[in-house]
Amino acid sequence: METYDLKFDFRDPRNLSMVMDLYELTMAQVYFNEGKKDQVVTFDLFYRKNPDNAGFALFSGLEQVIGFIQNLHFSESDIYYLKSLNKFSDEFLDYLRHFIFTGNIHSVKEGTVVFPNEPLIRVEAKIIEAQIVETAILLAVNHQTLIATKANRVVRAAKGRSVMEFGARRAHNFDAANYGARAAYIGGVGASSNVAAGQLFEIPVSGTMAHSFIQSHDNEYDAFLSYAKNYPDSTSLLLDTYDTLRSGLKNAIRLAHEYLIPKGYRLDSVRIDSGDIAYLSKKIREELDAAGLEDCKIIASNSFDEYIIKSLIEQGAQIDSFGVGENLICSKSSPVFGGVYKLSSLLVDGEYIPKIKVSDNVGKLTNPGKKELYRIYDKTSNKAVADILALYDEVLDEAEDLTIYHPQNVWKFKTLEAGSYYVKKLLVPIFVDGKLVYDCPTIEEIRTFSEESRASMWDEIYRFEFPQEYYVDLTKKLLDLKLSMLENVRK
């Protein structure tokens, strides 16, 4: 008998190295031709605005970044195609033929609560290497961080009731369905309808029947009976194919008493997918309880999002579990995460020369230099009070007062007294000199870590409307550097 290993490598077996914007290669050839291919630089990946006007985001996608970097190479078919564009020299194409990533990557851990304008990933590498990974890293992080954040909003709206991700058929193609389900699980959903996601990432899967199953039988009761005979210990029935209360519910109760209970089973759950969900769920609960089926759960699905779920609960809907599809898997209300990847320094003769991007839009100013990211915690409550960006060579001494400054305005600052706080460095090494040094956690470990990260935050940032803005501040040294560089640009 054949046996199968259900453990899967998280690395995508496809060669995704060509998933990049063309300008990464045109710039790379210029660096190559000008003798700058070995110039070491740092880039920061960050984002500027929380989706859905929320107070935070949940960082996700690091595992896929790691897989991409480990499999990064250019095949002969890639080289052949690039040559056909008539843009690249034979010497540069030969360089790509032998290309490997040799740099350093630091990142926050997957599942971490994160905020705008702080580096989530820092890449330090030769300039061509750092440039070539731009699109793929952004792609992995932007998509999964967006979906994990949306999923957590939905889960919090459900207030302890289970949430299942039902969105595969509405996702933007196969990868979006699979990786979206992964991100949603990190965000807190209990299961996915996507079998491939269950196989690939070892997350729970859930699903029972569609309306077509009911329609394929001579009548609704026969459809219910057929399903119960095959799954007597987990019978879940879809009630709204014909008439939820006068047909579906009546037949479900009949099945429970005529078939399941006499054989020692219980009706596990019923599902509604249309109509006035709040009203129907209350009527269903009344009739199930009156029929002695108090333990039968009610599942609801119908284009839900966090606001609809919140409203249903406020209306007293008797729902034990929500199935959420398109509004989650596509983050329909806020479909773009908007992460960016910006140069922050050049390494010249052992010294990091800071670089800054200036814009008429103050929100697009970047924070210069090679930086570290710290989270500051209150010692009494163990709650996070702020994040702080510091230059890489600064030392934050917990035995001293710590003053943190607004990213633009020197007059806006806060001083934390020595002994009242502690700090944790958020950027951890992932690759060093091209070698993976990070012990990749399991999906369950990521999910648990994310719960812990969320628990360390004050509730005020989790409001759906007008959440409290979390401080992402700078050290005085970094702020002074930024202001001086802006002044030099002005002059």
Asked if residue 166 lies in contact with residue 69, where contact means CB atoms within 8 angstroms, the answer is no
List, for residues 435-468, the tens digit of each pLDDT value.
999 999 999 999 999 999 999 999 999 999 999 9
Neighbours of 386 (CB within 10 A): 20
Is residue 490 very low, low, confident or very high in pLDDT (cuts 50, 70, 90)? confident
Say whether domain 208-323 belongs to CATH 3.40.228.10.
no
pLDDT for res 473: 97
Is residue 364 very low, low, confident or very high in pLDDT (cuts 50, 70, 90)? confident
Neighbours of 76 (CB within 10 A): 8
Burial class (CB in 10 A: 0-12, 13-18, 19+), 230: exposed
**pLDDT, mean of residues 276-287:** 98
**pLDDT, mean of residues 253-266:** 98
When the pLDDT of each residue in the chain is averaged and rounded to a whole number, the result is: 95
Interhelix angle 174-187/443-455, rounded to 10 degrees, is 50
Q: How far apart are CA 96 and CA 482, in angstroms?
A: 36
List, for residues 398-423, the tens digit of each pLDDT value.
999 999 999 988 789 999 999 999 99
Per 3-state DSSP, the chain is made up of helix, strand and coil in percentages (nearest 5) of: 40, 20, 40
Amino acid at 392: Y
pLDDT for res 4: 47
**pLDDT higher than 50, residue 137:** yes
- As a whole-number percent, the residues of the chain with pLDDT over 90 amount to 93
Considering the segment(s) 22-147+335-490 as one domain, its CATH architecture is: Alpha-Beta Barrel (3.20)
Is residue 11 very low, low, confident or very high in pLDDT (cuts 50, 70, 90)? low
- As a whole-number percent, the residues of the chain with pLDDT over 70 amount to 98
pLDDT for res 1: 47
**pLDDT higher than 70, residue 52:** yes
Give residue limits of the domains in the chain. 22-147+335-490, 208-323
Total-model pTM: 0.95
State which H helix or E strand residue 344 sits in. Answer: strand 339-348
Distances (CA, A) of 41 to 103, 104, 241, 344: 10, 10, 60, 8
**pLDDT higher than 90, residue 133:** yes
- By three-state DSSP, how is residue 196 classified? helix
Q: How far apart are CA 112 and CA 61, in angstroms?
A: 11
**pLDDT higher than 70, residue 5:** no
**pLDDT higher than 70, residue 129:** yes
Q: How far apart are CA 274 and CA 241, in angstroms?
A: 9
pLDDT for res 10: 53
